A and B are shown apart, each in its own frame.
Chain A
Amino acid sequence: SAVISQKPSRDICQRGTSLTIQCQVDSQVTMMFWYRQQPGQSLTLIATANQGSEATYESGFVIDKFPISRPNLTFSTLTVSNMSPEDSSIYLCSVEGTEKNTEAFFGQGTRLTVV
């Protein structure tokens, strides 16, 4: 299992500003994942953060809007840039077990409200 510390847990931000979300894992992992969960909706993968290389973004998500850092094997950040009310959502970081096709572990999530 993995213990993931994510912060902030929630924030209220002004439109046009940016917020950086941090994710710390208690063990070294190759890949970290960032998801968005809009109110009452499912989880949508934003990007996969790989240590030592650029993040891989899913369709509909771009680096300029959601820059990601992955400075080492236990830490990653996701920035939500130039925010608008449509970015109000829960953002979750996740890691997976060391074996292939194992379960995902999630951080507590960051509940973002843009006003």
Chain B
Amino acid sequence: GQQVMQIPQYQHVQEGEDFTTYCNSSTTLSNIQWYKQRPGGHPVFLIQLVKSGEVKKQKRLTFQFGEAKKNSSLHITATQTTDVGTYFCAARRWGKLIFGQGTELSVKP
């Protein structure tokens, strides 16, 4: 079945450094969503991308959807300790959300 591959699995950065996680699919996606899960918490929706080549920003977070709608990325500029958590992409297939493996971000102050 369709899988959504997400890399890297872990990322350790110094506070102030940038961070990027990537999501790839072998098939064209209708849309892609991003979620953040804080340690000990539950996933919280961040954003949905629908259009080819779409770029959306939320403060220090930049989300991109590839031109072919097969890949997406989340970039955080100048990370802060509050950015710690696991970031998941999720794609919809047959009405169900398929989650990527997640990228766990740790930030050293």
Contact = CB atoms under 8 A, between A and B. Distances in A.
Do these two chains really belong together in a complex?
yes
B96 A42 contact: no
A30 to B, nearest CB: 11
Interface residues of A, number: 18
A49 to B, nearest CB: 13
Contacts of B30: 101
Interface in B3-46: 30-31, 33, 35, 41-45
Contacts of A109: 41-42
B92 interface: yes
B45 A104 contact: yes
B80 interface: no
Interface string A12-50: 000000000000000000000100000011111100100
Contacts of A74: none
Contacts of A33: 96-97
B88 A103 contact: no
Nearest to A100: B95
A48 B92 contact: no
A53 interface: no
